[in-house]
Structure 1
Amino acid sequence: MTTSITAPPTEGTPRITTYSRRHRWQVRLVAWLPVLATAGILVAMFVAGEILFGNFITPRLISSLLLDNAYLIVLAVGMTFVIITGGIDLSVGAVVAFSGILGAQLLHTGWPAYVVIPVMVLSGSVIGLVIGIMVQVFDIQPFIASLAAMFLARGLAYVVSLQSLPITDPTVLWLQSTRIKLGGGWYITPTVVLALLTVAVAFWVLHYTRFGRTVYAIGGNEQSARLMGLPVRRVRLAVNVISGTCAGVAGWIFASYTGSGYSLTGLGMELDAIAAVVIGGTVLTGGSGYVIGSLLGVMVYGLIEISITYIGVDSWWTKIVIGSLLLLFVVLQRFIVSRRRSR
């Protein structure tokens, strides 16, 4: 009969385990710090609005905030994927215009809505694929590739029509006109449901799939990701397709929101999306970011516009406030990156 003797744990083992857990918690806290800062700014803005204007925090205002910015939420989700990999997509505003005017033109020629809507979304996917091919196959910088795609999409929108085309198809307008009452003055529309569903799916993909982990790995260090055998080229291509698809969906939502398609739609919309993503805590150099933060960034952006309207000053003050917030969050990002390097 043999007696097994189990060596007692050394004195330092629990300390190492405790340190490892504490270190992981600190790393996660630092990563979520920009998102928490955005959430804090959003809460502070609501409180300040209630104090200054009274009856500011109402179900109607929050529902309207989501309704008016549903398209921007979808755009920000796609932009988050791209920026996490260390890229950029300047074409999304032009894609919104192209998909919207294309859909309006096809509806005017008699195409059914159940065909037009997929065509609108796929038009964005194709342009995203073109950007991905330029970046991965021809080794063109994402900034230049997406800039070229921006001119391409805007030119195609002009080719389709120079005039604003009204949309009267009830299937398309149903997205915006339908109000789903939640009680207590709360309501949402199918466009809001679609936007929030996009956020939920993107969150799951980024944090619970191998594809999402590869996205973060590429943004953190692309060379290391290649050495680990990760499918860098395929994932980068897919990320650009995701961004283009989100832009196509946003074009569909925006066309439903405005009830028309217009080739001049979306001028500067890509900058709005980038601003919302950065305010939401996604690091421009890649490797860190959350779609939840991008959602909060869009909410901050929309609430700034509403607050400017309440105050009664010129709308260009919105750009000044957004610019100030961008500077603040860029400084915060530099702080976070330096802390990570020191650790």
Structure 2
Amino acid sequence: MTAAPVIDTVPPRARFQRRVPRWKLRLSAWLPVLTTSVILLSMFIAGQTIFGNFFTSRLISSLFLDNAYLIVLAVGMTYVILTGGIDLSVGAVVAFSGIFGAELLQTGWPAIIVIPAIVLSGSVIGALVGVLVQIFEIQAFIASLAAMFLARGLAYVVSLQSIPITDPAVIWLERTRFQIGGGWFVTPTVIIALVTVLVSVWILQYTRFGRSVYAIGGNEQSARLMGLQVAKTRIAVYIISGTCAGIAGLIFAAYTGSGYSLTGIGMELDAIAAVVIGGTILTGGSGYIIGSLFGVMVYGLIEISITYIGVDSWWTKIVVGGLLLVFVVLQRVLVARPKR
């Protein structure tokens, strides 16, 4: 009597992981981030070689100051993209939250109420997108596009003109400089951005919610079979994205000293570009917050480099877009071979 053949029920991915050491798998996951960090360092070296006085503490401090709002936006976008979604509403939310807060301040509301209201306005719109995506099963692209039009329209309803912000508490966020030494400085807005990064790193790497975010992006069906709360996690992810957009609206309003309904046009694309440059895969399940931070730094450094060259502002946008495309393609080429 012949024995029944043994059927290998182990998935191919599990068999691959058995053959490959754990440290190699970790290195493969971090390779996009390492690639971005190498690109960032190369840009600093090239800028120092070409221009001189480029890699300085003042320039790096200014880089963080000028892109603090984009760092926060990229953090929120990273959550969404990790689940395989997209959020096109964040740029319009920045405009609405900023002009909404400026209008409240101008009418005499105290900053202690206005600042939370600015952040909460983004959370509400993010929750709306999450409900549309999860409960009504509308594609994230369409749901966030509708929210983008809604937020932009609300900004127009508040005011078509720029509203100046003169409240001392909001101005303090941007104009206060904490000197660290050696020319280094940070502002409260930069501190807010960096705290957002650190908190998100902890959430995604060391909490059950963070593991659920990665699991949903990797394979939603498997996440459901594992008993993960897919619906709550996805809605929470869009709430986080909207909240980050509200915080970015506050930072940008403090940065410009005003609220304006036309603020943030195309800002959502800047955030997506920074996240992708930072190594997060658009299909979800792979990426790191630190990579998104490096992506924002690369993006900001490109703009600074073009300014140093002295190219016309319209050509600056064209060159920035071309260089971003080159970086993304280069990163994908470098990462694809080790993955195979």
Residue equivalent to 2:141: 143
Distance 2:307 2:324 in 1: 18
Contact 2:129 2:147 in 1 (8 A): yes
CA distance in 1, matches of 2:132, 2:329: 29
Match of 2:166 in 1: 168
| 1:326 aligned residue | 325
Report what 2:280 is aligned to. 282
Separation of aligned partners in 2, 1:47 and 1:337: 26
What residue number does 2:122 align with?
124
Of residues 48, 51, 54, the one that matches 1:53 is 51
Distance 2:117 2:132 in 1: 23
The residue that corresponds to 2:71 in the other structure is 73
Q: For this pair of structures, how many residues does the alignment match?
A: 323
Residues 299 and 324 in structure 2, CA contact (< 8 A), matched pair in contact too: no
Whether the 8 Å CA contact 1:279–1:326 is kept in 2: the answer is: no
> How much has 1:335 moved relative to structure 2?
7.0
**CA 318–29 in structure 1, closer or farther in 2 if over 3 Å, else same:** farther
Q: 1:12-51 residue pairs with structure 2 within 5 A?
A: 23-51=21-49
Q: Is the 8 A contact 1:124 1:248 kept in 2?
A: yes
Label 1:269 to 1:338 Cα distance change in 2 as closer, same or farther (>3 A): same
Aligned with 2:108: secondary structure?
coil
CA distance in 2, matches of 1:335, 1:68: 30
Measure the CA separation in 2 of the matches of 1:324 and 1:186: 28
Distance 1:328 1:69, change over 3 A: closer
CA separation of 1:127/1:187 partners in 2, compared to 1, >3 Å: closer, same or farther?
A: same
Quickly say closer, same or farther: Cα 1:224–1:22, change in 2 above 3 A. closer
Which residue in the other structure is 2:211 paired with? 213
CA–CA distance in 2 between the matches of 1:240 and 1:158? 23
Take 1:331 and 1:222, find their aligned partners in 2: how far apart are those partners? 29
Name the counterpart of 1:15.
none
Q: CA deviation at 1:326?
A: 3.2
AA paired with 2:115? I
In the alignment, the residues of structure 1 paired with residue 331 and residue 241 of structure 2 have an alpha-carbon distance, to the nearest angstrom, of: 26
The CA distance in 2 between the partners of 1:145 and 1:327, in whole Å, is 30
State the match for 2:302 in structure 1.
Answer: 304
Q: Distance in 2 between matches of 1:194 and 1:319?
A: 31
1:204 aligns with 2:202: yes
Q: Is the Cα contact below 8 Å between 1:304 and 1:318 reproduced in 2?
A: no
Matched, 1:229 2:203: no
Q: Which residue of 2 aligns with 1:101?
A: 99
For residues 76 and 250 of structure 1, the distance between their equivalents in structure 2, rounded to whole angstroms, comes to: 10
How far is 1:330 from its partner? 4.9
Q: TM-score, normalised on structure 2?
A: 0.92
Report the 3-state secondary structure (helix = DSSP H, G, I; strand = E; otherwise coil) of the residue aligned with 2:179: strand
List per-residue Cα deviations over 1:121-158 (Å, max 9, x = no partner).
00000000000010011100000000000000000000
5+ residue gaps, structure 2, are 1-16
Q: Structure 1, unaligned stretches of length 5 or more?
A: 1-18
Counterpart-to-counterpart distance in 1, 2:136 and 2:326: 34
Q: CA 1:57/1:324 → structure 2, altered by over 3 Å: closer, same or farther?
A: closer
Contact 2:78/2:289 (<8 A) preserved: yes
Q: Deviations over 1:143-188 (max 9, x none)?
A: 0000000000000000000010000000011000100000111101
Q: Which amino acid aligns with 1:219?
A: G
For residues 276 and 20 of structure 1, what CA distance do their matches in structure 2 show? 34
Q: Please say if residues 34 and 329 of structure 1, whose CA atoms lie closer than 8 Å, have aligned partners that are also in contact.
A: no
- Which structure would you say has the larger Rg? 1
**SS of aligned partner of 2:21:** helix
Measure how far apart 1:337 and its partner are: 6.5
Question: 1:101·1:165 contact (CA, 8 Å) conserved in 2?
Answer: yes
Distance in structure 2 (CA, Å) of the matches to 1:113 and 1:106 = 9
Question: Tell me, what secondary structure is at the counterpart of 2:180?
Answer: strand
Compute the TM-score of the two structures, normalised by the length of structure 1: 0.91
Contact 2:99–2:159 under 8 Å retained in 1: yes
Q: Which residue of 2 aligns with 1:259?
A: 257
State the partner residue of 1:314: 312
Once residues 127 and 318 of structure 2 are traced to their aligned partners in structure 1, the CA distance between those partners, rounded to angstroms, is 32
Instruction: Say whether the 8 Å CA contact 2:162–2:261 is kept in structure 1.
Output: yes
Q: For residues 330 and 90 of structure 1, what CA distance do their matches in structure 2 show?
A: 22
From 238, 241, 244, the counterpart of 2:242? 244
TM-fit CA distance, 1:336:
4.5
> Equivalents in 2 of 1:319, 1:125: separation in Å?
33
Question: Given the alignment, which residue of 177, 182, 185 partners 2:175?
Answer: 177
